């Protein structure tokens, strides 16, 4: 699954979602993980809603976004896109978080994480 991290350097999860210019995207699974790309979000107007929408759209393929902080409207926008926001509240090592996620995925992940892992693989029962 793809996971985004708000990071100024690629080493720490150290930015507020709404202020982040760069998102480090990783592919993480129980067998290992790899860095995919850095997604840069440019200026998208002065309106807060536009800024949130631009960030959410840039991360639409991600199942989880790890950030130091996120506001309610931004979190709601991510959840509506089936992206699970996770707050660290303090700077956290990005590589340590990747390792922790790998370990959790090897075992019996909690229901919310199993659901996030299946993002993009939902079965549709439309006629």
The domains of the chain are located at 2-117
16 confidence band (pLDDT: 50, 70, 90): very high
Chain-wide mean pLDDT for the chain? 87
121 confidence band (pLDDT: 50, 70, 90): low
* 2-117: CATH number: 3.30.420.130
What is the mean pLDDT of the segment spanning 3-14? Answer: 95
Instruction: Write phi, then psi, for 117 (nearest 5 degrees).
Output: -65, -30
pLDDT greater than 80 at residue 124 = no
In this prediction, residue 62 carries a pLDDT of 95
Judged on CB neighbours under 10 Å (0-12, 13-18, 19+), 106 is: exposed
Euclidean distance between CA atoms 70 and 52, whole angstroms: 10
Euclidean distance between CA atoms 40 and 104, whole angstroms: 28
pLDDT in tens, 28-82: 988 899 999 999 987 655 666 777 888 888 999 999 999 999 999 999 999 999 9
pLDDT greater than 50 at residue 123 = no
In this prediction, residue 84 carries a pLDDT of 93
Structure tokens at 26: 């990783």
């Amino acid at each position: 699954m793809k996971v985004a991290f708000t990071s100024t350097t690629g080493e720490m999860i150290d930015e507020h979602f709404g202020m982040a210019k760069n998102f480090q995207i990783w592919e993480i699974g129980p067998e290992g993980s790899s860095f995919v790309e850095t997604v840069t979000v440019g200026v998208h107007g002065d309106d807060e809603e536009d800024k949130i929408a631009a960030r959410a759209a840039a991360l639409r393929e991600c199942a989880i976004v790890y950030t130091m902080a996120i506001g309610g409207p931004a979190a709601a926008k991510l959840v509506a896109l089936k992206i699970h926001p996770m707050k660290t509240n303090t700077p956290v090592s990005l590589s340590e978080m990747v390792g922790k996620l790998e370990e959790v995925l090897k075992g019996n992940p909690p229901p919310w994480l199993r659901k996030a892992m299946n993002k993009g693989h939902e079965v549709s029962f439309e006629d």
